[in-house]
Amino acid sequence: MKRLVPVALLVAAVMAACKQTPPASSAVAGVFDGTSGQWVDLTYPFNEQSIYWPTARRFELDTVSYGMTEGGWFYAAFDFAAAEHGGTHMDAPIHFAEGHLTVDRVPLAGLIGPGAVVDVSERADADYMVSVNDLQAWEGRHGELPNGGILLLRTGWGSRYGDRTAYLGTDLTGPEAVPQLHFPGLDPEVARWLVAERGILAVGIDTPSIDRGQSTTFDSHRILYAENIVGFENVANLDLLPEAGSYVVALPMKIQGGSGAPLRIVAFIPHS
């Protein structure tokens, strides 16, 4: 797999940001106990309101047991079912690239790295495509996108997540809804540029898809996933992250052979 960095990058980078010299157990502990920075949850909860592709099975939670048992103690258990691709989730490369990595084969080093948040929320409309110019403007402020980094695209669509119609652009469901989808995405030209010119290992976005809603060929998916660059969709709370300086950990449910999976994605922001 291309563009992998050691898992130790997270700790090493945070220690550097905190001006610690490895080995420093207190600096490592500070990453996890909150004393050297802040953790931000970038994940929406899974429930009946979770947004799924119009043709996908939505999240269902069925109660198996909830209450006092005959033995006198409380016991709760549930069954859940859903499509792989919905809510905050990861696309594995095999989703659009035959023979490429399934969810369980994506190594940890492909899911952890420095975050780069490209914010186009002030100009994005329902058919906006994030451009190479948008990324180069970010680089003009912060330097080149980090090798082994995770690119997060903030379009502002996260503010609509609680309103399915506003978020998707239609209140329809089923196949007839797909041509009516309207939300921002990544210009395929950017996907080609990232593959050719940068070492990004994952791309996340605060919309239902890496490609914009009106895409019919899903070119950005196909270009990125052919290079084993994974995708994160319906990412939450990108407004809480700085444009640069955070570190992202994105851990999917490890579904053997899966094309995607529910994702718990978080970011660490070191204290300045």
Active site residues per annotation: 95
User: Cα 105 vs. chain centroid, distance in angstroms?
Assistant: 17
Per the CB < 8 A criterion, the answer to whether 167 and 208 are in contact is yes
E strand or H helix at 165, and its extent?
helix 164-168
Per the CB < 8 A criterion, the answer to whether 84 and 53 are in contact is no
For 162, counting Cβ atoms within 10 Å of its Cβ (0-12 exposed, 13-18 middle, 19+ buried), the class is exposed
Give the closest residue to 127 by CA, choosing from 88, 169, 99, 171: 169
Place of tokens 């490890």: 254
Per the CB < 8 A criterion, the answer to whether 180 and 269 are in contact is no
- Residues paired with residue 78 on neighbouring β-strands, in sequence order: 63
DSSP letter string over 175-219?
A: GGGGGG----EE-HHHHHHHHHH----EEEESSS-SS-TT-SS-H
Per the CB < 8 A criterion, the answer to whether 103 and 187 are in contact is no
